Amino acid sequence: DAGVIQSPRHEVTEMGQEVTLRCKPISGHDYLFWYRQTMMRGLELLIYFNNNVPIDDSGMPEDRFSAKMPNASFSTLKIQPSEPRDSAVYFCASSFGGAAYNEQFFGPGTRLTVL
């Protein structure tokens, strides 16, 4: 299995532009998580899906952020408009079963830089 796949690996954009991050979870996994890692806040959960349905988006910082999961093999995280403070590494993770007692498998991350 290829593991969790994220694209792009690096994204540099200018303030005000729309950014779309993509994730392909491990086949058969029914949970998908989006995280953001920054120096100040560490690794924080943004949103997670179960069977393609968003369950908890309380970690999404503001309305500029949105996430979708149109099918079991694809999810996107969109930032519109982007701001310099959105610069971070964004991780996607998937698991079979919820976070309770089930290992989450992380993708390599997308490093986003907003100028």
Partner 1 sequence: DQQVKQNSPSLSVQEGRISILNCDYTNSMFDYFLWYKKYPAEGPTFLISISSIKDKNEDGRFTVFLNKSAKHLSLHIVPSQPGDSAVYFCAANRDDKIIFGKGTRLHILP
- Closest CB 81 distance from partner 1, rounded Å: 27
Looking up tokens 């079991």, which residue turns up?
72
* C-alpha to C-alpha distance for 47 and 57, rounded to whole angstroms: 4
- Closest CB 97 distance from partner 1, rounded Å: 9
- Closest CB 15 distance from partner 1, rounded Å: 25
- Closest CB 111 distance from partner 1, rounded Å: 9
Name the DSSP letter for residue 22.
E
What tokens were used for 35? 């995280």
Binding site for partner 1 (CB under 8 A): 4, 31, 33, 35, 41-45, 48, 50, 55-56, 91, 93, 98-101, 103-109
Q: Which is nearer to partner 1, 5 or 81 (CB)?
A: 5
Is 89 within 8 Å of 24 (Cβ atoms)?
no
Q: Which is nearer to partner 1, 70 or 101 (CB)?
A: 101
Q: Using omega within 30 degrees of 0 as the cis cutoff, is the peptide bond preceding 8 cis?
A: yes
* C-alpha to C-alpha distance for 7 and 48, rounded to whole angstroms: 18
